[in-house]
Structure 1
Amino acid sequence: MRGLKTILVLSCGMTLGILGANGQDLHFSQWFNAPLITNPANTGFIPDADYRLGANYRDQWSAIMAAPYRTMSLWGDAQVFRNRIENGWMGLGGVILRDDAGSSTLTSTSVYASVAYHQMVGFASLLSIGFNTGWVNKRINTSNLKFPDQFDGKFFDNTLPTSVVIDHPSDNYLDMQIGMNYAYFPTNKMYLNGGFSVQHFNRPRESFFNTDPVGFDSRIAPRYTGFVNASIKVNEQVIVNPMGYYTQMAGASEMVIGLNAQFNLQDEGDQQVIGGLYMRPGDAIIPMIGFVYKNIRLTFTYDVTTSALKHYDGGYGSWEFALLNQGFYSQYNGDKRQSLCPTFKP
């Protein structure tokens, strides 16, 4: 009887976790390669280029799930009005996000547009403020769900009738995020950067029911995110990038700290090898490798589980890659704008 009660409680909890709001937000271990969802003030903050296009893919829990969680994104941003605003510019960009939870029981599709303003203060400081707004769709595949009243004493059978009525299996809402950044460029061999953002600050309602159960609030809790990073040119062959990231939402939190190093293989930096190591304290160690060829950068990370979950997944966590292409506008030709951050290029 005790086992039956445990199964029913777990079933209820998992069902509410799927059908209610305040679920885990989408995230990447390579948060620094997903700049627009980390902080909209990053839109157009491209110290070593004028535009960039990126893609991210994350495969999570494939060792313990037949159908793992998959998260992917396509994004791009660019600097505009550089010649029209004194010591400043604007950034425009957009992001498309897609997430499949398990065997497509819950899917999420998001489209965001971002805008930011950047203003140099003196010769070495930059202040930025950004905003994004987007459309979010959450869809649930009800044929894969099983409810407590479908338990036949041994198994959950979704062919049995249930008293649970889902009012609409698809939910749409408007989501907003705001953020601020500060960057400091003391020399051409170093820059420091930090920022803070608030996502879901408009508190959109996310639910597959018309009304909330008593005592339950289906509005999404704000998500607070802060980060710091630096780029330090050690010599003509090595640039080191230490960084840290922290996010908190509805009592849940995540922290990622670590660094990577870029190793120059050619005089002008057209070919580089990247190696790094990050960690989520108490959860995972995250080694990173990558390669740069001209304007294209590809990086790969693997989350090695260190938490109690390692007893179930054998330490095999999640893998993730990020692809980035960036460059200067064609009108610059050979007279490229001076980079604001350490670079191997002359």
Structure 2
Amino acid sequence: MKRGLLMWRFGLSCLLAIGSLNELSAQDLRFSQWFNSPLTTNPANTGFIPDADFRIGANYRSQWISVMEVPYKTISVFGDAQLFRDRIENGWLGVGGVILRDVAGSGNLTSTKAYGSVAYHQMLGFSSLLSAGFNLGWANKRIDPTRLKFPDQFNSATGFFDAGVPTSVVFNSTSISYVDMQVGMNYAYFPTEDMYLNGGFSVHHINRPRETFFTETGFDNRLSPRYIGFVNASLKLNQQVIINPMAYYTTQASASELVGGLSANYNLSGDGETQVIGGMYYRVGESLIPLIGFQWKNFRMSFTYDVTTSPLAQYNNARGAIEFSLLKHGFYSEGTGNLRQSLCPSF
């Protein structure tokens, strides 16, 4: 068992050591609560806030605590707002921004990204909305090779790495930066005040920036485009319960991910100001993701835990990742909320 875990860590160390070669090109930052990270899911979500004028949020994810000496940690903060609702007939402009930081493994592979987003939203009649947007940003990745162990430092006789043995791996740079761009579209349909349907599609790294710590690798070191599609719904069953089924699919290079499930909001206070949230999602072939949350007025906090169901569970004891999300929605003035049409069901 210990030797199996050691070899698994050895494999991860090798992957981190070769940085952003072809095998790593598909590993973008991700959140299990993709629906609570709207700007990283689809830039057309910028300013697409069905029940408010603006929102701010933060996300935190910690992964592989039980098997890595230094677990993977991802943090993001974002904000977006609606503009010109009183100047554009049946439409508005959305503007926003997001900052992400990710630290992966013992080599301190650190990613820092900052994006600005713009989207346009146009009503189609009284029950449909079409949105299109893009974001443009700066990304930096850096690594500390002195904290890594490489394949040619592994001693098969002892089963350990020998840090005193020189490695043939030579990094030409330990810090790289590039410009990155994403585009996306959304469509929302809300035929009644008790039903809301939404779907979107986005393409990330559309400019295919080059990402590598090496000069010559023999691989195409440009980032492969990442495609993300999602559908969700909000259905009000009665004055106490709203359910939210959803699904998410992403693919990049040879990697793909499919997540589906639902959550439910239960009205505790009668006026909808206090709600408790519960849900369950499944990442196909990888993990179950239970969710619990609480909403008070315009604040919502939610927590998920990735329960590993893949063969990796024998090494991490099914402990995949923990994730927190905090969101705040708001209006520009107290009276605005009463005059605005809410596009999704509410209590």
Indicate the TM-score class for this superposition, using the shorter chain for normalisation: over 0.9
Other structure's SS at 2:206 match = coil
Corresponding residue for residue 216 of structure 2: 212
Residues 68-79 of structure 1 mapped to structure 2, 5 A cutoff: 68-79=71-82
CA distance in 2, matches of 1:90, 1:83: 11
Q: Which residues of structure 1 form unaligned runs of 5+? A: 1-5
1:284-327 deviation per Cα after TM superposition (whole angstroms, max 9, x unaligned): 11111000011100001111111111111111111111100011
Corresponding residue for residue 266 of structure 2: 263
CA distance in 2, matches of 1:278, 1:81: 37
Identical counterparts, % of pairs:
63
Is structure 2 residue 246 aligned with structure 1 residue 246?
no
Other structure's SS at 2:173 match = coil
Residues 100 and 332 of structure 1: CA distance in aligned 2, closer, same or farther (over 3 Å):
same
Other structure's SS at 1:241 match = strand
Corresponding residue for residue 3 of structure 1: none
**CA-CA distance at 1:16 after TM superposition:** 5.4
**CA-CA distance at 1:244 after TM superposition:** 0.3
CA distance in 2, matches of 1:199, 1:93: 17
Other structure's SS at 2:135 match = strand
1:54-101 deviation per Cα after TM superposition (whole angstroms, max 9, x unaligned): 000111111112211111100010000101111000100000001010
How large is the RMSD of aligned CA atoms in angstroms? Answer: 2.0
Is structure 2 residue 328 aligned with structure 1 residue 325?
yes
Residues 54-203 of structure 1 mapped to structure 2, 5 A cutoff: 54-151=57-154, 154=158, 155-203=160-208
Partner amino acid for 1:251?
Answer: S
Structure 1, 149-158 or 241-250: larger mean CA deviation: 149-158
Residues 266-305 of structure 1 mapped to structure 2, 5 A cutoff: 266-305=269-308
Partner amino acid for 1:199?
Answer: H
CA distance in 2, matches of 1:162, 1:328: 58
**CA-CA distance at 1:339 after TM superposition:** 1.0
Q: TM-score under structure 1 normalisation?
A: 0.92
Residues 97 and 313 of structure 1: CA distance in aligned 2, closer, same or farther (over 3 Å):
same
Partner amino acid for 1:119?
Answer: Q
**CA-CA distance at 1:335 after TM superposition:** 4.1
Residues 296 and 312 of structure 1: CA distance in aligned 2, closer, same or farther (over 3 Å):
same
Structure 1, 133-142 or 60-69: larger mean CA deviation: 60-69
CA distance in 2, matches of 1:138, 1:145: 16
Residues 294 and 102 of structure 1: CA distance in aligned 2, closer, same or farther (over 3 Å):
same
CA contact (8 A) 1:328 1:336 kept: no
**CA-CA distance at 1:212 after TM superposition:** 3.0
**CA-CA distance at 1:18 after TM superposition:** 2.5
Structure 1, 59-68 or 90-99: larger mean CA deviation: 59-68
Structure 1, 319-328 or 9-18: larger mean CA deviation: 9-18
Structure 1, 147-156 or 66-75: larger mean CA deviation: 147-156
How many residues in Structure 1 have an aligned counterpart in Structure 2?
Answer: 337
Corresponding residue for residue 18 of structure 1: 19
CA contact (8 A) 1:245 1:256 kept: yes
**CA-CA distance at 1:23 after TM superposition:** 4.5
Is structure 2 residue 22 aligned with structure 1 residue 33?
no
Q: TM-score under structure 2 normalisation?
A: 0.92
Residues 224 and 19 of structure 1: CA distance in aligned 2, closer, same or farther (over 3 Å):
closer
**CA-CA distance at 1:152 after TM superposition:** 5.5
CA distance in 2, matches of 1:16, 1:204: 20
